[in-house]
């Protein structure tokens, strides 16, 4: 496999470094364009929308995908209550939990497992939690830029005590920031992003993602539908499955980013559009879709538990609401709670 071919890496890196500083690259925004018209929101979705296949030209660009068993390493940046960490760990552990109730997180990841590299190897169905690092005292301050995020990762993998392991082929690094931390572009249409670290900064090329807790700063933007934006009057938020709007909102963004990291770790594998600077990836295509009928600004059909909380999949001991991802075999968004 030509996984980490230095030549292709250098080309990709040069291309991408030169653009990174000009354009925000990979971003995520759960909410479509602003509108004041709730009726319009509901009617814009047709029963079978779920992402339109007509306009989507998702292509494979010959780069690697994560075919080796995946290990997710977490950096907890800022103050993280134990209960919050537990919810996030259990979500990650649920991805490969075969014995959970259907519809399950395991079933959700099956769609990601449909993507292959040029050798025909599928993305691994085995995702496990790796090591964790606390950066409680905010080593790089309360405001991070896209580049200083990489310095936080560097600090974690080069720490004198218990550094995070360096595993470029199977490791994914998640930088999770607490609700009092601001990362460049956070809340301005961005709830998280993924990329890979530069050898010049970190010493290695490691696929990573940042996801912020939007609980205080912009839940209507990044924890929808557990909170709704102020500009849409009359739309009611739904109850979150783990009783924390910020964390439950993060779960879907974490799912979004992990799915894209696995299918496009070096931003040269699976994406739509001509432009590697603004690739539209397998989760971007299904932004805001959580169930059958979803599309436009309608989330699609979700499930309710006995306490009235909304979810669409079961994990270990918990329920989660996670957006769907693009299924390139059938050419529409797919999720484990699909009704057909
Ligand atoms: C949203 O707005 C952008 C810029 O105004 C426009 O290009 C895009 O087509 C709009 N999307 C939808 C779904 O209306
Ligand atoms: C929505 O309505 C408010 C108040 O009526 C108005 O100020 C705002 O410009 C409207 N926004 C859009 C996108 O139409
Ligand atoms: C809202 O959108 C619907 C469907 O597009 C339309 O019939 C209705 O007139 C709109 N209402 C307002 C107040 O603009
Ligand atoms: C990958 O994970 C599967 C399922 O958990 C396991 O059976 C297999 O031995 C693992 N392979 C490696 C190389 O660790
Ligand atoms: C691997 O991907 C192919 C092509 O999408 C798919 O047909 C096959 O079912 C996948 N295998 C697994 C184990 O998911």
**Ligand 3 contacts CB of residue 40 (under 6 A):** yes
Does 25 reside within a domain? no
* Ligand 1 centroid – CA 33 distance (Å): 6
321/310 Cα distance (integer angstroms): 7
Does 152 reside within a domain? yes
DSSP assignment of 2-41 equals -TT-HHHHHHHHHHHHHHHTTS--S----S-S--S-HHHH
Can you tell me whether residue 78 is helix, strand or coil? coil
Q: In angstroms, how far is CA 128 from the centroid of its own chain? A: 16
Q: What is the pTM of this model?
A: 0.80
The answer to whether the bond into 103 is cis (omega within 30° of 0) is yes
Range of the domain at 269: 32-334
Does 21 reside within a domain? no
- Residue 233's pLDDT is 79
Q: Work out which ligand 2 atom sits closest to the CA atom of 34.
A: 13
Burial zone of 19 (CB within 10 Å; 0-12 exposed, 13-18 middle, 19+ buried) = middle
Q: Ligand 5 pocket: which of 98, 111, 116 to mutate (most atoms <8 Å of CB)? A: 116
Does 20 reside within a domain? no
* Ligand 4 centroid – CA 68 distance (Å): 9
CA angle 100, 193, 116 (to 5 degrees): 60
62/271 Cα distance (integer angstroms): 11
Q: Which residues of the chain have pLDDT under 50?
A: 1-49
* Ligand 4 centroid – CA 121 distance (Å): 14
- Residue 276's pLDDT is 75
- Residue 36's pLDDT is 45
Does 1 reside within a domain? no
- Residue 227's pLDDT is 94
Does 19 reside within a domain? no
DSSP assignment of 235-258 equals PPPPBPTTS-HHHHHHHHHHHHHH
Q: Work out which ligand 5 atom sits closest to the CA atom of 110.
A: 14
Does 11 reside within a domain? no
No. of helices (H) and no. of strands (E), the chain: 8, 15
Query: For strand 70-77 and strand 207-212, is the pairing parallel, antiparallel, or unpaired?
Result: unpaired
322/81 Cα distance (integer angstroms): 22
Does 4 reside within a domain? no
* Ligand 5 centroid – CA 123 distance (Å): 9
CA angle 109, 254, 231 (to 5 degrees): 120
Domain total for the chain?
1
Instruction: Give Dmax (Cα) for the chain.
Output: 57
**Ligand 5 contacts CB of residue 329 (under 6 A):** yes
């Amino acid at each position: 496999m030509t996984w980490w071919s230095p030549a292709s890496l250098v080309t990709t890196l040069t291309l991408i470094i030169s653009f990174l500083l000009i354009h925000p690259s990979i971003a995520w925004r759960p909410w479509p364009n602003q509108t004041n018209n709730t009726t319009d929101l509901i009617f814009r979705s047709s029963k079978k929308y779920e992402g339109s296949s007509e306009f989507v030209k998702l292509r494979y660009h010959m780069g690697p995908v994560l075919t080796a068993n995946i290990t997710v390493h977490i950096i907890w940046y800022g103050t993280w209550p134990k209960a919050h960490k537990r919810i996030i760990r259990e979500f990650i552990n649920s991805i490969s939990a075969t014995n959970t109730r259907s519809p399950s997180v395991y079933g959700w990841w099956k769609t990601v497992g449909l993507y292959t590299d040029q050798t025909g190897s599928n993305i691994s169905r085995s995702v496990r939690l790796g090591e964790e690092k606390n950066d409680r005292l905010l080593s790089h301050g309360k405001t991070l830029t896209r580049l200083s995020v990489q310095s936080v990762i560097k600090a974690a993998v080069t720490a004198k005590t218990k550094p995070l392991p360096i595993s470029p082929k199977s490791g994914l690094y998640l930088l999770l920031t607490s609700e009092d931390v601001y990362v460049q572009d956070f809340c301005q249409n961005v709830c998280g992003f993924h990329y890979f670290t530069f050898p010049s900064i970190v010493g290695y090329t490691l696929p990573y993602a940042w996801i912020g807790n939007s609980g205080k700063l912009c839940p209507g933007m990044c924890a929808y539908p557990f909170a709704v934006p102020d500009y849409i009057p009359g739309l009611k938020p739904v109850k979150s499955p783990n009783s924390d709007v910020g964390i439950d909102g993060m779960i879907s963004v974490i799912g979004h980013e992990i799915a894209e990291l696995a299918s496009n770790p070096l931003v040269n594998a699976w994406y739509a559009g001509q432009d590697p600077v603004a690739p539209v990836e397998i989760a971007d295509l299904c932004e805001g879709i959580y169930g059958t009928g979803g599309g436009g600004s309608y989330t699609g059909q979700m499930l309710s538990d006995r306490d009235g909380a909304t979810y669409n999949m079961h994990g270990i001991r918990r329920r989660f609401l996670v957006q769907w991802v693009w299924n390139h075999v059938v050419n529409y968004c797919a999720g484990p709670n699909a009704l057909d």
